[in-house]
Amino acid sequence: MKHSFKIVALAIIALFAGVAAYAQVTTSAIAGKITDTKGEVVPGAVVIAVHVPSGTTYHAVTGGEGRYAIQGMRPGGPYVVTVSLMGYEDAQVSDIALNLGETADVAPVLKEATLALEEAVVVAEGAFDASKTGAAQAISRRTIEEMPSISRGISDVTRINPFVRTDQNGGMSFAGASNKYNSFQIDGAMNNDVFGLTNNGANGGQAGTEPVSMETIEQVQVSIAPFDVRQSGFTGGSINAITKSGTNQFHGSVYGYGYTEDLVGRYTKANGDKSDKYTDEKTYQAGVTISGPIIKNKLFFFASYERANKEYPNTYGLGSGASKVKAETAKEVYDYIVRESKAQGYEYTGSLPSDLQVYTKSDKVTAKLDWNINDKHHASFRYSLVSAKQLNSVSTASYLDATDYSYDFVSKTNTFVGELQSRLANDLNNELRISYVRVRDQREPLGAKFPMFQIGGVGDGTVCIGNERSSEANHLYQDIYSLTDNLTKTMGIHTVTFGTHNELYRFSNLFLQDIYGTYYFNTPEDLYAGKINRYRYAHPNTDLPGVTESWEPTFKAAQLGFYAQDKMTITPNFDLTLGLRVDVPLFLDEPTENPDLTNLSNKYGWGLNTAKTIKGAPLFSPRLGFRWDIAGNRKYVLRGGAHVVRCPADDLRCQKPACGHYLRSQQAEPERA
C-alpha cells in the first residue's frame, strides 16, 4: 500500500485575515488569563459563558495562574461571558461569536469592588484573532448566505479560499492536490468517498448530487496546513462542516430556486452551427427547515427536507440534426437485432430514443437533537439521508445509444452521528464522538438483461444496443464506523490533549464486466454477415472456494490513530504547540491464493502472491506550531510551523490485487497479418 505524505515546513503567514489551523472537531472554545487592574493574576474567579439563543451554560474557575479554558462549546453565538469573584466587580463580555474549531481569547480585567458595586460590560470586537496558527479558514453562516452560488453546493463556498480550485463536478483541489486526497466531514462524520470513485470526492458524487444541503450548514472550516494532532488523513485539504441546531426560539424557512428553458442560452455545436433552442428544461431546488425548543434551555431540535430535480432533453436522439449517426441505417441495425433475438426465443425490449429526457434527482433529509443534560454534559445526535438518481450513458453526437444502454446511477447515504461533550473537572474536558455512514451505490440498466452490441460505420457514428458492459452487474456498498475521543487537561500554561480517532471500513464491490457478453462490429454489413471484430465475456471463477456466479468481493480495513499534544502559552504574546500522532493502517482479511498465478510468479521471479496483504506499520506524524503577537496588540501576528500529514491510498487500489484472480475472461479478435 502506498501512502502520500505532505510536509509543510515553516508555513509562515503574517496577514490581516482570520486564518487558522483547526482540528477535525465540531465545537469551539474560549480561554484566557484573568488579571486585575494592577496586572496581578486572579485565581478562583468564576467564569460563566452563556449561549444566548439556546441558554446553554458553560462554567470554569481560574487556576493559580489566573488561567481558565472551556472546551466543547457550540460554535456561533452570540455568547455572554461573565467573570466574578468576591471583592471584585463582575466583568461581562457580550456579543462573542465563536468560529468552528477556534479558541477565542476572552480575558476581561477585574476591578476591585467599591461601595456601590457596578457591573463592567465589555462588547467583543470582531478584530483580528491572534490565537490562531497555520493556514485555514472558518466560513460563517452569514458568509454562506451572502455568497453567490449556482450549484448551491459546498464547493461554491470553499472557493473563497485562495488555495482551493473547483471544477464543474463540484470537486475541490487544494494547493494542486487531487480531491481524492481530501478529507470531508459533516459534524465530525466521514463523508468523502473513501473508495475513491467519485469525481467530486464526496459520497453521492456519481449520482450528480451534493453531499449536504447548504441550508442545513451553520459553519464550514477549510484547513490546508494543520499543526493540530487531531487532524490527519489528508494531503490535499480538509473540509469540516457543522449543521445547524435548534434554539429557544422557533424558526422555520421555505426556499426554492430554479429555471426553465427560457433561461437557457444556445451554444455552438461541434460542426460550428448554433444549437436549437431548448424546448423543455426544468431545474429546481426547494426545501423547508424548522427548528426550536422541545424543553426550553434543555432540549432542541432541527429538521430539514430538500428536493432537487434537473431535467432536459437529449438533443442527439434518433433523427436529430446534431447527430452524426445516419437514422435510416440505425433503424435497420435495430430491426436486425430485434429479428435475430426473436428468432432465438428472446424478446428484445429496448428502443432507439428520439426524445429521451436526461435527469438528476435527489432528496435530502436531516434531523438533529441537542440536549443540555446539565451544566457539565452536552449531547447531540444527527441523522441524515441523501438519496439521488442520475441517468447516464445517453446519446452523444457520435454515439446513438439504445434505451437499455442507458442506466440510472442510484446512490443512498445514511449517516448517524452521536456526540457527548463533558466537563469532568474544572480543568478536565472530554469529547466523545461515534458515527456510522452507510453508502449504497449501484447502476441500474433501464432495460432487461441483454448482451452489448456496438456497431460502427453507421453514417459517421456508432450505435450501441444492449446493456452497457460495465453496468450489467455493478454496485458498491460501504459501511464506515468511526470512534473519536479527546481528553483535554489545562495545567497552568499547558493545555494537554490525549486522544484517539479510529475508523473501520467494510466494502462489498460487485463489478462484473461483460457478464452478458459484448460484441463489436466495424460496420452494419459486418453485423449482418456475422463478422465480429471483437468479443468479450467474463464470469466469476467458480472453481475457487466461496465464489459463486454472482460473486462480489467483500473486505474490511481499519485506520487507527493515537495522539498527544501540548499547547503552551509561553508568554501572553507567544504560543507554542508540540504534538505527535501515530496512525496504523490495517487490512483485516486474507484473500484466497491463486495457485496458477503463484506458480507463474515463482517461475519468472515476479514475487506476486494474491494471498499476501499489506502489513500495518505505525506511521509517525510530528507536529510543531507557533503563534507570535509581535506588538502585543493583535495587529501583526507571525504564525508558522512544520508537520507531517499522512493520507491512505484509495482502498480501490488495494482491492484490485486481492480480487482480480476471481474472474475468468474470454476475448476474441481477428488475426492480424
- Domains, the chain, with CATH or none: 22-128 (2.60.40.1120), 137-241+312-360+394-668 (no CATH)
Residues in the chain, pLDDT under 70 = 1-24, 114-136, 269-270, 276, 646-673
Pairing assessment for the beta strands 76-84 and 46-51 based on DSSP bridges = antiparallel
pLDDT reported for residue 296: 94
- Decide: 608 and 597 in contact? Cβ < 8 Å: yes
Measured distance between the N- and C-terminal CA atoms of the chain, rounded to whole angstroms: 42
CA dihedral (19, 23, 24, 26) in degrees, to 10, reads -80
Q: Give the Cα separation of 431 and 441 in Å (integer).
A: 32
Q: 200: which 3 cell numbers?
A: 467530486
327 φ/ψ angles, rounded to the nearest 5 degrees: -60, -45
Dihedral class, residue 272 (left if φ above 0, else alpha if ψ from -120 to 50, else beta): left
**Signed CA dihedral, 465, 471, 515, 595: sign only:** positive
Rg, the chain, Cα only: 30
In this structure, are residues 480 and 503 in contact, taking their beta carbons and an 8 Å threshold?
A: yes
3-state secondary structure of 477: strand
| Alpha carbon distances (Å) from 35 to 106, 119, 253 | 12, 16, 45
Q: How many CB atoms lie within 10 A of CB 137?
A: 23
Alpha carbon distance 326, 381 (integer Å):
58
Sheet containing 135-139: give its strands across: 135-139, 217-225, 238-243, 183-186, 189-190
| Residue 377 and residue 365 in contact, taking contact as beta carbons nearer than 8 Å | no
Say which residues have a Cβ less than 8 Å from residue 603's Cβ, sequence separation at least 6.
none
Q: Is 374 helix (H, G, I), strand (E, B) or coil?
A: coil
Cβ-proximal residues to 72 (8 Å cutoff; 6+ apart), any chain:
27, 29, 58, 378, 421, 422, 423, 429, 431
Query: Which residues make Cβ contacts (< 8 Å) with residue 630, sequence separation at least 6?
Result: 573, 636, 637, 638
* Grid coordinates of 393: 450513458
3-state secondary structure of 239: strand
- Residues with Cβ within 8 Å of residue 560, at least 6 apart in sequence: 500, 502, 583, 584, 586
What CA–CA distance (Å, rounded) separates 357 from 420? 47
How far is residue 622 from each of residues 269, 336, 524, measured CA to CA in Å? 54, 68, 64
What are the cell numbers at 26?
465540531
Amino acid at 66: G
- The DSSP string of 297-336 is TTEEEEEEEEEEEEEEE-TTSTT-TT--B-HHHHHHHHHH
Dihedral, CA of residue 35, residue 37, residue 38 and residue 39, to nearest 10: 30
* pLDDT tens profile 576-602: 999 999 999 888 887 777 788 888 888
Instruction: Report CA-CA distances (Å) from 458 to 290, 401, 524.
Output: 56, 12, 7
Asked if 412 and 387 count as a contact pair (C-beta separation under 8 A), the reply is yes
Using CB atoms within 10 A of its CB, is residue 127 exposed (0-12), middle (13-18) or buried (19+)? exposed
pLDDT value for 125: 42
Q: CA-CA distance, 564 to 496, in Å (whole number)?
A: 7
**Phi and psi, residue 627, nearest 5°:** -145, 125
pLDDT of residue 355: 85
* Alpha-carbon distances, residue 144 vs 81, 113, 221, 652, 657 (angstroms): 27, 44, 12, 34, 44
Please name the residue that has the C-alpha cell 430535480: 309
Sign of CA dihedral 601, 602, 604, 605: positive
Contact assessment for residue 101 and residue 28, using Cβ atoms and an 8 Å cutoff? yes
Question: Measuring CA to CA, which residue among 325, 322, 327 is closest to residue 276?
Answer: 322
390 HSE (CA, 13 A, CB side): 15
Query: For position 656, what pLDDT does the model report?
Result: 43
In which element (H, E) is residue 214 found? none
What's the predicted TM-score (pTM) here? Answer: 0.82
**Which residues neighbour 571 within 8 Å (Cβ) at sequence distance 6 or greater?**
none
Are 496 and 565 spatial neighbours (Cβ–Cβ below 8 Å)? yes
Answer whether 582's CB lies under 8 Å from 620's CB. yes
